[in-house]
Structure formats: C-alpha cells, structure tokens
Chains A and B, each alone.
Chain A
Amino acid sequence: MNLALWRKAIVESRALLAACAALLFGFQWVFVWVTSQVKLPAIATFLSDLPEYMQNVVGIPIDQVATTAGRIALSYIDPVVLVATGVWAIARGSDAVSGEIGRGTMEMLLAQPVRRIAVLWTHAGVTILGAGVLGCAAWLGTFAGISTVVLDQHVDPWRFVPSAINVAALTFFLAGVATMASSWDSYRHRTVGLMGGFYVVGLVLEMTGKMVDNLSWLRYLTFLGVYEPQVMVTDRAAAWEMTLNYNGVLLGLGALSYIVATVIFCRRDLPAPL
C-alpha cells in the first residue's frame, strides 16, 4: 500500500465528496420536513387521480405512497439523489485513467516505481469509500429529519437502511462502469459522455418498462431495474431479500467492471500527453 497515492486520491476527491454528501444529507432532511407539511388525505386524493401509467412510475402502490414512510421513501428515487450519486460515480470513475491521461499526469505517476494496479485500485478504493459515505449521508439525512420533524405517523428510521445500501450499491456499480470506460479511453470528456448516455438510456428503459405493461421486460436491460429503494421501505417483508438480490447484482456487476478495468489498464499502451 502506497500512502502517498492514498493521500493524493483523498485530497483530490474530498471537496466533491463533501459537496455530494452534504447535498444528500440536506436533501433528505428537507424532504422529511416537506413530507410533514403535506397532509396524508390530500396526498392520497392527488395520487389516486393520476393516470395509471404515472402511478406505475412511482414503483409502489398508491396506498403506500399515502403513508408517511412511503412518501419519505420516494426521496431515494428523487432526481437529486440520482444526480448526486451519478456525479460522484461518473466524475471519479472517468478520472481514474482517461482523466489522468488527459491531464498528462499519468505519465509522471507511472514513471514512479508503483504498479499500475496500485494506481487504479487506490483511486477505486477512495471512490468506493465515497459510495459508502453517500449512502450513509442519505440515511443520516433521513434519520435527522425523522428525529427533528413532527410527522403524522411514527416512522422507524432503521427501515431506510436497505434503501441507503441500495444507493451505495448503485453508486459503486456506476463508478465501476465509468472506471472501465475510462481505462480504455484517453479523453475524459468522451468517458463522461459515454457514461451520460449509458445513464440516460438506462433511465429511458426503466421508465418505459414501468409505464408500458407490454414492455416491462425492458427493465431487465437496465441497471435501474435493480434500484428500488422505495420498495425496500414499503415492502417490509421482502426488504432484506431485495437488499441481497438487488445489491448483489449491482455489486457483482460493479466488481466485474473494476476487474475488466484493471485488465485493460494493466495491458494498454500509455499514450503521450495530449
């Protein structure tokens, strides 16, 4: 283990991690407060008037959304959470190889007596720790909200732990795929573009699969098919089984991506600084 590499990776990433974690923590807290401001009967009436295909997008039965815990659970599929975790995962993953090559710093780094695998895994280690931090920040925000805001119904904050784990697993998976793309690429902006496209296509497949019954099989083609933190809260009986299965898929595919990234990076030619 090279402490200098760890120090560098932490220093380079701490500002982004702090910003994303603060955003998630604050957002979850505020979301709980907003939830407390809207009365349950009003929400239930509003939701039941929505077209069925829109109700499907929520991913949980409307009667569950009308509960306090169900509405708080929706915060985990809010675009703010998806953007914050996506920004961390794609920014860090794309930086791993193509970012360093694009800035020309990879050459100076690899001229030192350090293994390529150490360079990549140190970077990945900090990214994965960050994914865990973001999951914790999201849960802590929910916990802080539930602890400080007066709600219509009693809500156990520990019910949101599987959701927070799902957030961390999704971040790990995205970071793994971004690192794999980065390990093959030499231009960070292209890696970011590829990952942006990957994310949007995944989102479109997920939404289409949910909205159109005949196309529900599309959800098997996207990573968002195994991202259902809201269901992990509302379906208490299946919560831990889902946690194992869904997160197993995300963590497995993420780990596979990191392995492929390692193989590519350790075998590729290092181009001259651009």
Chain B
Amino acid sequence: MTSPTHSASPSIIETHSLGKRYRDVTALADCTLEVERGEVFGLLGPNGSGKTTLIRLLMGFLRPTTGTATIDGLDCYRQSVAVHSRVAYLPGDARLFRRMRGRDVLRFFSDVRPGGDYRRALALAERLKIDLSRQVAVCSTGMRQKLALAAALSAQTPLLILDEPTASLDPTMRIELVAMVREAKAAGRTVVFSSHVLSEVEEACDRVAILREGRLVHVQDMARLARQHRIRAQLSGPLAPVPEALAGQLQLTANGQRQITIETPGDLAPVLGWLAQLPLDEVLVEPLGLRAIYDRFHAQVPE
C-alpha cells in the first residue's frame, strides 16, 4: 500500500447525512453509511438511484450540498488529493487519452501517481489480454475498459472504487474481474463495487447498500442473507397457526388461493419441524438471494 492509514477508525469510508442537489433535482439525500476496512461493499440500484453521485462525492468530484464524506478520516472534497493517494478509481465508462497507445496510458498512470507501479500494470495488462501496442482511439470499448482496469488496479491503494466496472466487459472478463476483487480483498484492500448485475454483487460483496431515488434504503449483510431461505409450496388444507417461538421471525405471503411463500430470517432447522406438520405439496426450498431483497425496494408494480 502506498499510503499509511490516517485514521484508526475501523471504517475506511464514513458519510453523514450526505446529499447533493442540482437546482430542483435531488441526486442524493441524507446518506449515512460506513464501509469497514477490508470488506467488499456493493452499491445496488437502478439508473438514477444515486450510486454514481455517491461515488463522485466520495471521489471529491462534487461538492456536497449537505453532510460530509470522509475516506480514511480525510474529507473527500477538501482533502481530495490526500484521499486520491488512498483510492484507485475505475468509472463505468472509462475514457482514456485517445492519442496514446495502451503502453503509454499505463506508463502515464504509473508516473502520475507517487509510488505507481508500471511493472504491475504491465502484468495486469497481460492477465487481461490487452494489446498495448494499439492506440486508444482504435480500441474497442471493452478493450479501453480493460486498459483502465489495469491502470486502476495497478495502484496499490487501500481502497478501490469500481463504478459499474463490468458494464462493457465480456462474460470471461467479468468473471476475471470478480476474481480480482476477491484477490484485492484477500490482500486486505477495501473495495466499493457498484453494479446492475445482482449475481456479481452477490458473488463478490460482503455487504450491499440498496439505493432508491437518491436515498439509501437498505444495507444487507451478505453472510446473513446466505442463511435466509424462501419456501414455496401449495397448501392442500388449512394453514396451522405459526408456533409462538417462530412468530415474528417468519414472513408469510399468500400468493393466490393455495400458494404460500415463507421467508426465514436465519437457520432453517427450527422451521422444518413446523413445516413437516403443514398440509403442503410441491415444496420448494431455496436460498433467499439478493434478488428478493432488491425486489422489496425496486419491484415493478403493475399498473
């Protein structure tokens, strides 16, 4: 890592009531969150939900309208240079210097950053199968994104911020990127990962924040989510009351006349005994998954 830790706080990112308004448009409002050191933190939400605004505020590109954001104890806007020495950033649609060749791009980003590592950038470029002899102007979007990825990941910073990094990558490279995120985590780095692809976020992240219309509406611990299950079944008789020990923990939803869905908050074992007594057919037990959580906040409501 190029920069020593500035703050003793377990959280590398802290925001308090962070907000950004553009005249009449609220891009982000009252966002309070903490990202712990060493975790992979996902940002989920549809277009316009505030993910990119949050990231741009963290990068100090935007002046907050309300609240504060700090990285490693440093104010993201006022101390942006010190913050950037601790952050490697990859935007969703990375634009590079069109007249440079791939090799020159990597050289530039290594040289411009104190402690930049050109050899590491070259090694990453080889791993990502980038043709470094080509001029950026004639590279495909995916190739440019990979080049930017190599430049960003070569910086040995404690924090990586990736804003929809897989948007223009092919499936093979998406898998490779998720592997790189895991490697970064294994090396003790913190990763903030924004994506539209639920499976990627589910696979890579320790915690996920869900945003809706510029507001942070939910933070999901993925380890906890992995213990949650959903049971779908057809009722063949009357539904017995939920035992007192389980009441308040289970979420029961009746879909239509006979179909029910039960969501469990944690260990499945205590529920199985009760389920065995119910008049159920066609029982399907599955992990709850991030999709179910996401749909709670962003489900399409039929008109």
Which A residues form the contact surface with B (CB < 8 A)? Answer: 2-5, 7-8, 11-12, 103-105, 107-115, 267, 269-270, 272-273
Contacts and interface: CB of A to CB of B under 8 A. Distances in A.
Given A269-B62, A273-B93, A113 B148 contact: no
B286 to A, nearest CB: 38
A260 B80 CA distance: 21
B63 A269 contact: yes
A177 to B, nearest CB: 26
B297 interface: no
Contacts of B87: 111
Given A108-B95, A113-B114, 12 more contacts: A5-B112, A7-B111, A8-B108, A103-B98, A104-B93, A108-B148, A109-B112, A112-B109, A269-B63, A270-B61, A270-B62, A273-B91
Interface string B48-92: 000010001001011100000000000000001110110101010
Contact of B95 (A7, A104, A112): A104
Contacts of B196: none
A112 B109 CA distance: 8
Nearest to B22: A269
B1 to A, nearest CB: 13
A109 B97 CA distance: 10
A108 B148 CA distance: 9
Contacts of B225: none
B233 interface: no
Nearest to A274: B95
A252 B84 CA distance: 35
B111 A111 contact: no
Size class of the B contact interface (CB-based, 8 Å): 20 to 34
B16 to A, nearest CB: 20
B223 to A, nearest CB: 31
A112 B87 CA distance: 8
A271 B97 CA distance: 18
B96 interface: yes
B295 to A, nearest CB: 28
Interface of B: 52, 56, 59, 61-63, 80-82, 84-85, 87, 89, 91, 93-100, 108-109, 111-114, 148, 151
A103 B61 CA distance: 16
Contacts of B113: 112-113
Contacts of B61: 107, 110, 269-270
Could you tell me the dominant secondary structure of chain A's interface residues? helix
B84 A273 contact: no
A110 B80 CA distance: 9
Nearest to A269: B62
Contacts of A112: 84, 109, 112-113
Nearest to B155: A112
A110 B84 CA distance: 8
Contact of B56 (A3, A114, A270): A270
A95 B90 CA distance: 23
A270 B95 CA distance: 14
Nearest to B113: A112
29 contacts: A5-B112, A7-B111, A8-B97, A11-B100, A12-B99, A105-B97, A107-B61, A107-B91, A108-B91, A108-B94, A108-B96, A109-B112, A110-B61, A110-B84, A111-B84, A111-B89, A112-B84, A112-B112, A112-B113, A113-B81, A113-B82, A113-B114, A114-B84, A114-B112, A269-B61, A270-B56, A270-B62, A273-B91, A273-B95
B111 A3 contact: yes
Contacts of A107: 61, 91, 95
Contacts of B63: 267, 269
Nearest to A2: B112
A142 to B, nearest CB: 33
Contacts of A2: 112
Nearest to A116: B80
Nearest to A115: B81
Given A4-B111, A5-B112, A113 B85 contact: yes
A2 B113 CA distance: 9
A11 B109 CA distance: 15
A62 B109 CA distance: 58
Nearest to B52: A272
B154 to A, nearest CB: 12
Contacts of B114: 113
Interface pairs A-B: 10 shortest CB-CB: A104-B95, A4-B111, A113-B85, A270-B61, A4-B112, A111-B89, A113-B84, A269-B62, A112-B112, A113-B81
Contacts of A5: 112
Contacts of B56: 270, 272
A105 B96 contact: yes
Nearest to A119: B112
Contacts of A11: 99-100
A196 B34 CA distance: 49
Contacts of A269: 61-63
A12 B108 CA distance: 13
Most-contacted residue by chain B among A104, A110, A111, A114 (CB, 10 A): A111
Contacts of A8: 97, 108
Contacts of B151: 108
A105 B109 CA distance: 12
Contacts of A273: 91, 93, 95
Nearest to A5: B112
